[in-house]
Structure 1
Amino acid sequence: MTRSRWSDLERPPLNATALRRAVVVPDGLWTELDVVEATGSTNLDLAARARQGAPEGVALIAEEQTAGRGRLDRRWSAPARSGLFFSVLLRPGEARGDRGPVPVHRWGWLPLLAGVATATALSRAAGIDTALKWPNDLLLTVDGEERKAGGILAERVGGGTSPADGSGGAVVVGIGVNVSLRAAELPVPTATSLALAGAQGTDRDPLLRAVLRSLADWYGAWRAADGDPAVSRLQQTYGAGCATLGRQVRAELPGGKELSGTAVAVDGDGRLVIAGPDGEEAVGAGDVVHLRPGTGQL
């Protein structure tokens, strides 16, 4: 029996026409919005379109991802229409309006920017406190425990119309948020969803509109400040919403190295500063584990 898009009435399909009308507006960031029934990965699909010259501001949303990816090539899977699974195409290396390109060394702030935009939007639209785990996890508290409800994956893609130094390349930002997953559907015990955390609403249309508008606002402020995280207030806002800061952490770094200590700051390059036995060290990539005092575990 063929599954109908209306087979789960608690999870109605997104209204693509209404979403376009709401967010694709003159002089706005979003230039195109597509909703597909299913795909392997919205990031991979949008990256291919970026290489073909797709303009900044394309948003690709999937009702279901069959090969979604998180950081470190981890799989991200969820039932159809149970969450927000989408990617957006940004071109910070190209001039926009009267603004020049954003320096490449500041592009590392884009996944953190997406985290701030998503967390603040969901907090308002769903009436639920959303925190950030460095660098790009969305956390909700359920029964006194922090659990992951979403994640962000930003990938640089070649292909643009700007100079040969590569500054015209695109950045595809993928965002996944568990919205209506039930307890039995969670992929791991440390995961959760907006519904399980007591969100006031789980209608995906207003949630998606809120996130896209928030992304446009934060990205516009960041570009207007030439990517400066302090001038755009991105650095301060990320620090205020980051549950990692002030915690005992263990950073599992590339090459098998580990660093343990207290997370004390996010520096101007978006790196996590950890104060350990040998002083402070800034971590730009790795898997960070929040530790409970005296246990060494989450």
Structure 2
Amino acid sequence: MSRYSDLDRPPLSEAALNRALVRPGSLWTGITVVDSTGSTNADLAAAAHGGAEEGAVLVAEEQLAGRGRLGRTWTVPARAGLTFSVLLRPSLPATAFGWLTLLFGVAAASAVRRLAEVDVRLKWPNDLLIGERKLAGVLAERSEGAVVVGMGLNVLVKQEELPVASATSLAVEKAACLDRDPLLRAVLREVEVHYREWAEAAGDADACGLRAAYLAVSATVGREVRVELPGGAALTGRATGIDAAGHLQVTAGGVTSTLSAGDVVHVRPTA
């Protein structure tokens, strides 16, 4: 049993979220809040297999088997974070889908910066940072012609509850807003705006301004980085841009490589 009461970590209201976000013409078609589940991404992927419509949102007050990139686990105490997934069915070329994780990051960073008044930046491809500490992560997975995008955002997690020293939360950062309900509403509204603009531009990240918006809050582009690649290799160089497909461009020794996957480490400048 949690040692924190509902006064410390109040539950989310499914009814209130649906009243606020589900309306005629909205992207969001239904918001479900569950007390606990293994993985919201896995649950929505199963729903997609069963024919669930675009715009379904699943929020878990506690996630027991959350997954990050490269098979990593992700957990926070019950009602201390925002753990949710959305189901999207973009009618776009598969080559555009690489932007969905970045789009979600841009939307979430914008919402959190506005409400919480903290300087959130994006580490390619899927982390939200405050300074060099991870505030949130995003994971997109394809399923049955759909894409499920999940996010885990640390809100009320206390310093002693953080799983690693490189993590942080809005509570630790003494953010202006620690109420999960308006934060979730703001993130989903921002996602809807960016997603509609991107879809209307046929997935062209330049035409809809998505690439420019991403670069404006990128903590990676312009930095010296080490990218740990699938298979155990690594590439060290300067992150110089994001290409039209959302891939990271890294220049080393005068040669620019374009990376679709990899674990980025920001290299601290030497004194």
The TM tier, using the shorter chain, reads: over 0.9
1:171 aligned to 2:147? yes
Please state how far the C-alpha of 1:129 moved relative to its aligned partner: 1.3
SS of equivalent to 1:256: coil
1:274 aligned to 2:264? no
Please state how far the C-alpha of 1:5 moved relative to its aligned partner: 11
SS of equivalent to 1:254: coil
Please state how far the C-alpha of 1:204 moved relative to its aligned partner: 0.3
2:126 corresponds to which residue? 136
Please state how far the C-alpha of 1:197 moved relative to its aligned partner: 1.2
1:148 aligned to 2:124? no
Please state how far the C-alpha of 1:8 moved relative to its aligned partner: 4.4
- With the length of structure 2 as denominator, give the TM-score of the two structures: 0.97
Please provide the CA RMSD for this pair.
1.3
- With the length of structure 1 as denominator, give the TM-score of the two structures: 0.89
1:187 corresponds to which residue? 163
Write the distance in 2 (CA, Å) between the matches of 1:104 and 1:269: 10
1:243 aligned to 2:219? yes
CA contact (8 A) 2:82 2:154 kept: yes
- Percent of pairs identical after alignment? 56
CA contact (8 A) 2:44 2:86 kept: yes
Q: Which has the larger radius of gyration?
A: 1
Q: Give deviations 1:65-88, integer Å, cap 9, x for gaps.
A: 000010001000110000100000
Write the distance in 1 (CA, Å) between the matches of 2:231 and 2:253: 20
1:121 aligned to 2:111? yes
Gap regions ≥5 residues in structure 1: 93-100, 159-168
Write the distance in 2 (CA, Å) between the matches of 1:268 and 1:154: 18
1:20 corresponds to which residue? 18
Write the distance in 2 (CA, Å) between the matches of 1:125 and 1:16: 21
1:262 aligned to 2:238? yes
2:94 to 88, 92, 104: 104
Write the distance in 2 (CA, Å) between the matches of 1:257 and 1:48: 34
Write the distance in 2 (CA, Å) between the matches of 1:17 and 1:222: 29
CA contact (8 A) 1:139 1:147 kept: yes
Write the distance in 2 (CA, Å) between the matches of 1:18 and 1:252: 43
Gap regions ≥5 residues in structure 2: none
How many residue pairs get aligned? The number is: 271
SS of equivalent to 1:119: helix
